Amino acid sequence: MSCVMSSSSTLTPSAAAAVKPQTVSPRCVKSETFLAGGRRWYVEFYPDGHGPRDAGWISVFLFLVPAGAYEVVTTQLKISLLDAHGKPVPSYGSGGAWRCCAFSTNQGSWGYSRFITRADLGRLGHVSWENGGFSVQFDIIVSKETSTEYVPVRMLVPPPDILHDLGQLLSTGEGADVTFEVGGEIFVAHRCVLAARSSVFRAELLGPMKESTSMCVHIKDMEPNVFKALLHFIYTDSVPEIDDADALSMIQHLLVAADRYGLKRLKLTCEEKLCTYINTSRVATTVALAEQHACTTLKEECFRFLESCNNSMLDLITRSSDFEHLARSCPSIIKELIPKLPRKPPCVTNYGNM
């Protein structure tokens, strides 16, 4: 026999918000208890991650306050990050899905050791932890069983951490068996990792060319910081943090490197980021880069931008030295572009007749 009670509670982990810290340590903020589904609960937030491997992440856990004697409280639980309008952000927490969770004396908490990174929290436009917090909603449906039968513990298995471990392997250089020289800087890496991620590296390091690369591989036409970012992606499947001042140049060079070494996901990631930089002063160089490296989506976005320009903007673009260079080096692009334009300034038509 059971009864069902449901409730929804929204908490904001901030010293200035409604959830007042009951216990504060350098790593954990514990909320006051609150009532939901007929039971009392509290939340622990870890602004720097629950464990060493969760650095850079915010961890969130919901705890059941024991009522006394041993019992099992079965729930349907949904934990959601809320946006500035109080709406759940689908990519974080439960992603809109309910989870069946059993709380008991020996398994009294459920949550996420990697709920959201602090960097993502900032990119989403949420207020930072230091300046006011963010909102997390807990939807709880409780089915309180009257039975006190023992239920085995369901372990909260941490998320995969192989990429973290591979990143550490790259950082320490332990077991490295290949050396690269790029622009006067030395990098060490592991042949098997590079070969597993890139068919180009596989041919260079494990194929017939292996003997010629046994001592040191010299990489030409690439900056050291670009090669470092390339290795970071190969080992961690993520793009490292890039200074805003260098972001555009780094992404452009990283796209070229990704194309050179056959890293399709990195190439698409760079292509997506470059789409956000398209404007009147960059569109000509961007479409040239897209054409040179077969970036279909980036090229189409450049065309869409040009199609949206009025005559004065098109005149400004087409009279630039970058556009003139594009027209002379790749006239097929201009011929492909002209039919797509709703308005055709004379200078564009002239380029089409080259």
Domains identified in the chain and CATH numbers: 14-142 (2.60.210.10), 161-272 (3.30.710.10), 278-343 (1.25.40.420)
Q: What's the one-letter identity of residue 287?
A: V
What lies within 8 Å, CB to CB, of 42 at 6+ separation is: 22, 30, 31, 32, 33, 34, 62, 63, 65
Residue 138: closest CA among 101, 104, 105: 101
Sign of the four-CA dihedral 123, 129, 130, 133: positive
pLDDT of residue 343: 65
pTM (two decimals): 0.58
pLDDT of residue 39: 81
- Helix, strand and coil percent figures for the chain, each rounded to 5: 40, 25, 35
Find the length of the chain. Answer: 354
CB 72 within 8 A of CB 147: yes
Helix runs in 237-330, H state only = 247-260, 264-275, 283-292, 296-308, 311-318, 321-329
User: What is the residue-level pLDDT of the chain in tens, covering all 354 positions?
Assistant: 234 444 555 555 543 333 334 444 557 888 888 887 778 888 888 888 888 888 888 888 988 888 777 777 888 888 888 877 778 877 777 666 788 888 876 667 888 888 888 877 777 765 444 555 678 888 888 875 545 566 566 666 778 889 999 999 999 999 999 999 999 999 999 999 999 999 999 999 998 766 555 678 999 999 999 999 999 999 999 999 888 888 999 999 999 999 999 999 999 999 999 999 999 999 999 999 999 999 999 999 999 999 888 888 888 888 889 988 888 888 888 888 888 776 665 555 555 555
pLDDT of residue 19: 38
* Distance (Å) of CA 295 to CA 194, 258, 321: 24, 12, 23
pLDDT of residue 113: 86
The Cα 247–Cα 318 span in angstroms is 26
Distance of CA 54 to the CA centre of its chain: 15
Antiparallel, parallel or unpaired: β 217-219 and 178-182: parallel
Token pair belonging to 319: 């009279």
pLDDT of residue 126: 57
Provide the edge-to-edge strand list for the sheet that holds 99-104: 2-11, 136-145, 72-81, 99-104
pLDDT of residue 22: 46
